[in-house]
Amino acid sequence: MEQQPTVTPSGADETVETIFRIESPRIIAGVTRVVRDVGIAEELAQDALVAALEQWPRDGVPDNPGAWLMATAKHRAIDLVRRRERYARKLEEIGRDLETTVPFEEPSAPDDIDDDLLRLVFTACHPVLSAEARIALTLRLLGGLTTPEIARAFLAPEPTIAQRIVRAKRTLATKGVPFEVPYGPDREVRLGSVLEVIYLVFNEGYAATAGDDLLRPALCEEALRLARVLAELMPKEPEVHGLVALLELQESRAAARTGPSGAPVLLRDQNRRRWNRLLIRRGFAALARANAVTTGAPGPYALQAAIAASHAQAYTYEDTDWRQIATLYGLLAARSPSPVVELNRAVAVSMTEGPGPALAIVDTLAAEPALRGYHLLPSVRGDLLARLGRTREARAEFERAAGLARNERERELLEARAEECR
């Protein structure tokens, strides 16, 4: 195989880490199929990363680095399985079978699906784990998120998240949880956690916690793909279609959310001609399917999709039906209350009733422990204060928000807004 030119050690390290961050979910999923243990699979994936860090600076980056990492991790998995076999004949048979048939054949069924990443999500969302542990573990394995990034998604301390992930991997191993997409009632039991995980992975791609780039498109694409697969697998589940609709509509704005330099572009300033009309139509269709199979009140994902649809229907920012959006946020707050939903509702209220009533809502959230390090709280408050003409206070809020932001692009935007308030 041809190799790319040899790179400097520091450049190779950066290349390996970037590729590994993108490829690690598939590597972990593929290796889990062999060893049937997500904790061991993650360790073997890390071993492949170490091997790449050792070899690529010397030999050059392979043409297909993702395949190189996968092959290296699987070879280590095969060696591990061989070492664990008790009998020499069984060892030879297992080793030969693994080399020729990996991934293993799975029993077929009418609603079975051959997707290792989806198996990984459902395995990590097994009921033997707490809801918080399921989500944290899957974000780590599927999204390749770091502990600080997961802590931000949970609005929780980093040590808490780290302990949660370690305990979750240990529990899955000791309980012998199978690597599978379950059927019937078992699938429905895990569905809520699976949907939440896919949504959080998409959110990390849509607005990266840290780093130099606002977007991580690979995470958005993978989350959207998994949501679409689930919709085919569970056509009568309204919240699955609601999540698909939400992700399609959110992703439709991706091209307009950053400028040529990668700087964020606020919703009011986005060129809506750059919004992807195909994704918008797909989102509307998924929302219609969700409404068609809903028997009671709409669920949280369908409500959020309806909010996104309201934005998508407006050809200009001024055409936005903010009253409808505020009503939908009120329904969402009643259906799935959270301080983040209330903060978003305050933004919609500011557009219908003015910044004063909205500021009153935001001020009630100041004591929320979950929002203590959430940079969007002072950001929204700064915007409302600026609209009220209280520019000195607004500047202080934007500066506080910039200090809390860990994404470089968001920090630059907030610092610029603080400067505007001088």
Three-state SS for the chain is CCECCCCCHHHHHHHHHHHHHHHHHHHHHHHHHHHCCHHHHHHHHHHHHHHHHHHHHHHCCECCHHHHHHHHHHHHHHHHHHHHCCCHHHHHHHHHHHHHHCCCCCCCCCCCCCCHHHHHHHHHCCCCCCHHHHHHHHHHHCCCCCHHHHHHHHCCCHHHHHHHHHHHHHHHHHHCCCCCCCCHHHHHHHHHHHHHHHHHHHHHHHCCCCECCCCCHHHHHHHHHHHHHHHHHCCCCHHHHHHHHHHHHHHCCHHHCECCCCCECCHHHCCHHHCCHHHHHHHHHHHHHHHHHCCCCCCHHHHHHHHHHHHHHCCCHHHCCHHHHHHHHHHHHHHCCCHHHHHHHHHHHHHHCCHHHHHHHHHHCCCCHHHCCCCHHHHHHHHHHHHCCCHHHHHHHHHHHHHHCCEHHHHHHHHHHHHHCC
Q: Note the pLDDT of residue 301.
A: 97
pLDDT at residue 110, as a whole number: 38
Q: Which residues in the chain come in under a pLDDT of 70?
A: 1-12, 84-114, 143, 153, 208-215
Q: Say what the pLDDT of residue 360 is.
A: 96
The neighbour count for residue 56, using CB atoms within 10 Å, is 24
| Structure-block tokens of residue 142 | 């599927």
**Exposed, middle or buried: residue 338 (CB in 10 Å: 0-12, 13-18, 19+)?**
middle
**pLDDT value of position 1:** 40
Q: What is the pLDDT of residue 108?
A: 40
Q: What is the pLDDT of residue 103?
A: 44
